[in-house]
Amino acid sequence: MEESKAYIETGILELYVLGQLNAQEQLEVEDMSVKYPEISKEINAIEIAMEKYAVSHSIKPTASLEKQIFDEIGATPAEQLPAATAGKIVPLHPDNSSSAIRTLRFALVACVALLLISVAALYSAHNKLNLANQQIASLSTDKEKFAATVSYIKDENKDLQEIAAISSDPTWIPVKLAGTKISPQANMMVYWHKKGQHVMVDNTKMALPENDASHQYQLWAMVDGKPVDLGVFDAQTQPKKLLLAMKEVGNAQAFAVTLEKRGGSVNPTMEKMVALGAVSI
Amino acid sequence: MAATKKISLTEVDLVRALRGHETIAIQALYDMYSGALLGVISRIVQQPEVAEDLLQETFIKIWNSADSYDSSKGRLFTWMINVARNMAIDKLRSKDFRNANKNQDIENNVDFIDSQKKITFNADTLGLRDMVTALKPEFNDVLNMVYFKGYTHVEAAEELNLPLGTVKTRIRMAIMELRKHFN
Q: Do B171 and A57 touch (CB under 8 A)?
A: no
Q: Does A27 touch chain B (CB under 8 A)?
A: no
Per-residue pLDDT tens over the stretch A168-189:
888 888 888 888 888 888 888 8
Confidence class for position A106, pLDDT limits 50, 70, 90: very high
- Mean pLDDT: which of A44-53, A136-145, B59-68 is highest? A136-145
Q: Residues of A238-251 as b/e, b for ≥16 C-beta within 10 angstroms?
A: ebeebbbebeebee
Per-residue pLDDT tens over the stretch A107-145:
999 999 999 999 999 999 999 999 999 999 999 999 999
Mean pLDDT over all residues of chain A? 85
Nearest C-alpha in A relative to B177? A49
* Percent of chain A predicted with pLDDT > 90: 23
Instruction: Give yes or no: residues A232 and A254 share one domain.
Output: yes
Q: How many CB pairs under 8 A join A and B?
A: 152
Instruction: Give yes or no: residues A212 and A184 share one domain.
Output: yes
Instruction: Give yes or no: residues A188 and A253 share one domain.
Output: yes
pLDDT for residue A212: 86
CA B41 centroid distance within chain: 6
Q: Do A65 and B85 touch (CB under 8 A)?
A: no
Last residue in a domain, options A168, A185, A204: A168
Instruction: Give yes or no: residues A128 and A207 share one domain.
Output: no
Q: Which 8-state DSSP code applies to residue A80?
A: G
Q: Do A57 and B43 touch (CB under 8 A)?
A: yes
Residue A213 domain-assigned? yes
The better pLDDT of the pair A67, A32 is held by A32
Per-residue pLDDT tens over the stretch A139-164:
999 999 999 999 988 888 888 888 88
Instruction: Give yes or no: residues A273 and A175 share one domain.
Output: yes
SS3 at position B141:
helix
Q: Do A65 and B22 touch (CB under 8 A)?
A: no
pLDDT for residue A134: 94
Instruction: Give yes or no: residues A63 and A43 share one domain.
Output: yes
pLDDT for residue B121: 43
Count of positions (residues) in chain A: 281
The closest CB to that of A69, out of B51, B59, B75, belongs to B59
pLDDT for residue A126: 95
CATH assignment of B1-117, among 1.10.3720.10, 1.10.8.100, 3.90.79.10, 1.10.1740.10: 1.10.1740.10
- The distance of A94 to chain B (nearest Cα, Å) reads 28
Separation of alpha carbons A234 and A56, rounded Å: 142
Q: Does A73 touch chain B (CB under 8 A)?
A: yes
> How confident is the model over B69-80, as a mean pLDDT?
86
Per-residue pLDDT tens over the stretch B88-147:
988 888 877 766 655 555 554 554 444 443 444 444 444 555 555 555 677 778 888 888
Q: Does B85 touch chain A (CB under 8 A)?
A: yes
Amino acid, res. B95: K
Residue A90 domain-assigned? no
pLDDT for residue A164: 85
- The distance of A87 to chain B (nearest Cα, Å) reads 12
Task: Pick the residue of A14, A47, A57 with the most B CBs within 10 A to test the interface with B by mutation.
Answer: A57
- Beta-bridged to residue A174, according to DSSP, are A191
Separation of alpha carbons A6 and A39, rounded Å: 10
Task: Pick the residue of A56, A62, A65, A68 with the most B CBs within 10 A to test the interface with B by mutation.
Answer: A56
Chain A environment of B128 (Cβ under 8 Å):
56
Separation of alpha carbons B90 and B85, rounded Å: 8
Last residue in a domain, options A55, A78, A101: A78
* Percent of chain A predicted with pLDDT > 70: 91
Instruction: Give yes or no: residues A163 and A202 share one domain.
Output: no
Nearest C-alpha in A relative to B33? A55
pLDDT for residue A138: 94
> How confident is the model over A255-273, as a mean pLDDT?
88
Q: Give the number of domains in chain A.
A: 3
Instruction: Give yes or no: residues A155 and A185 share one domain.
Output: no
- The distance of B148 to chain A (nearest Cα, Å) reads 9
pLDDT for residue B70: 84
Instruction: Tell me which residue of A278, A229, A221, A227 sits closest to A252, measured CA to CA.
Output: A221
Separation of alpha carbons A245 and A42, rounded Å: 135
pLDDT for residue B116: 43
Q: Do B56 and A65 touch (CB under 8 A)?
A: yes
Per-residue pLDDT tens over the stretch A205-218:
888 888 888 899 99
Confidence class for position A92, pLDDT limits 50, 70, 90: low
Instruction: Give yes or no: residues A219 and A230 share one domain.
Output: yes
Separation of alpha carbons A62 and A86, rounded Å: 32
Instruction: Give yes or no: residues A156 and A175 share one domain.
Output: no
pLDDT for residue B16: 85
For residue A227, give its domain range: 171-278
pLDDT for residue A118: 96
Global pTM value: 0.49
Q: Do A54 and B40 touch (CB under 8 A)?
A: yes
CATH 3.40.50.720 is right for the domain spanning B127-183: no
Instruction: Tell me which residue of A268, A187, A205, A192 sits closest to A232, measured CA to CA.
Output: A268
Q: Domain coordinates of chain B in residue numbers?
A: 1-117, 127-183
Angle between helical axes of B76-93 and B23-44 (0-180°, round to 10): 50
Per-residue pLDDT tens over the stretch A16-38:
988 888 889 989 999 998 888 89
Instruction: Give yes or no: residues A182 and A159 share one domain.
Output: no
Q: What DSSP assignment string belongs to B162-183? A: --HHHHHHHHHHHHHHHHHHH-
Q: Is the pLDDT of residue B31 over 90?
A: no
pLDDT for residue B12: 82
Instruction: Give yes or no: residues A190 and A259 share one domain.
Output: yes
Amino acid, res. A44: N
- Mean pLDDT: which of A101-105, A242-246, B94-98 is highest? A101-105
